[in-house]
C-alpha cells in the first residue's frame, strides 16, 4: 500500500471542482485525511482569479506513475486542457507532492500555502523533506 500527499487547486468553479475531484479520487483511492481549504492569490501573470487549495492524503494500490495517470484523467474529466491553461483557467490541478514519505515536487518548499496545507495532515518526522 502506497501513501500519497496530493495538492488540489482550482480557480474556476472552485468549491464544486474540489469536491468533485475528491469524489473521483475516492473512486480509485482511499482518502485518509484532508487539510483545511485555503484561498490563495494567483501566482503568475496568466492567472487572474484566486485559487482554492487543499491537501489530501490517500492510499494507492498502484504505482506512482499509474496514480498520477488517474490524476491527469480526473483533471481532463473536469475540463482541464491546453486551452484552459493558456487562458489561465484551472478547473482542477492535482499534484503529487509526497509519495511514501518522499518529496516528489518542490512545491512544498516553494509555496507557503502548499507547506501549510500539507503540514496540517502529515507527521513531519515520517517524511523526507528536501533542504
pLDDT in tens, 67-105: 999 999 999 999 999 999 999 999 999 999 999 999 999
Enter the C-alpha cell of residue 48. Answer: 487572474
Cα–Cα distance between 41 and 56 in angstroms, integer?
20
- Mean pLDDT for the chain overall: 95
In this predicted structure, the answer to whether residue 131 has a pLDDT above a threshold of 60 is no
> With bands split at pLDDT 50, 70 and 90, how would you rate the model's confidence at 127?
confident
pLDDT of residue 126: 72
Going by pLDDT thresholds of 50, 70 and 90, the confidence category of residue 124 is confident
The fold of the 2-126 domain, in CATH, is Alpha-Beta Plaits (3.30.70)
Instruction: Taking residues 106-111, report their average pLDDT.
Output: 96
Q: What are phi and psi for residue 128, nearest 5 degrees?
A: -90, 100
How far is it, in rounded angstroms, from Cα 112 to Cα 120?
12
Q: How crowded is residue 118: how many other Cβ atoms within 10 Å of its Cβ? A: 24
- DSSP H or E segment with residue 96: strand 93-99
Indicate yes or no: pTM above 0.85: yes
Helix, strand, coil shares, percent, the chain, to 5: 40, 30, 30
pLDDT of residue 44: 87
Q: pLDDT exceeding 90 applies to what percent of the chain?
A: 89
**What's 124's DSSP letter?**
G
Amino acid at each position: 500500500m502506497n501513501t500519497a500527499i496530493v495538492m488540489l487547486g482550482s480557480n474556476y468553479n472552485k468549491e464544486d471542482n474540489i469536491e468533485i475531484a475528491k469524489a473521483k479520487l475516492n473512486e480509485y483511492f482511499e482518502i485518509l485525511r484532508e487539510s483545511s481549504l485555503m484561498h490563495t492569490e494567483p501566482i503568475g501573470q496568466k492567472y487572474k482569479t484566486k485559487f482554492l487549495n487543499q491537501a489530501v492524503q490517500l492510499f494507492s494500490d498502484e504505482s506512482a506513475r499509474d496514480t498520477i495517470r488517474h490524476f491527469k484523467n480526473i483533471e481532463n474529466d473536469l475540463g482541464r486542457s491546453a486551452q484552459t491553461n493558456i487562458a489561465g483557467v484551472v478547473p482542477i490541478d492535482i499534484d503529487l507532492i509526497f509519495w511514501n514519505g518522499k518529496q516528489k515536487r518542490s512545491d512544498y518548499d516553494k509555496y507557503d500555502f502548499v507547506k501549510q496545507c500539507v503540514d496540517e495532515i502529515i507527521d513531519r518526522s515520517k517524511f523526507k523533506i528536501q533542504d
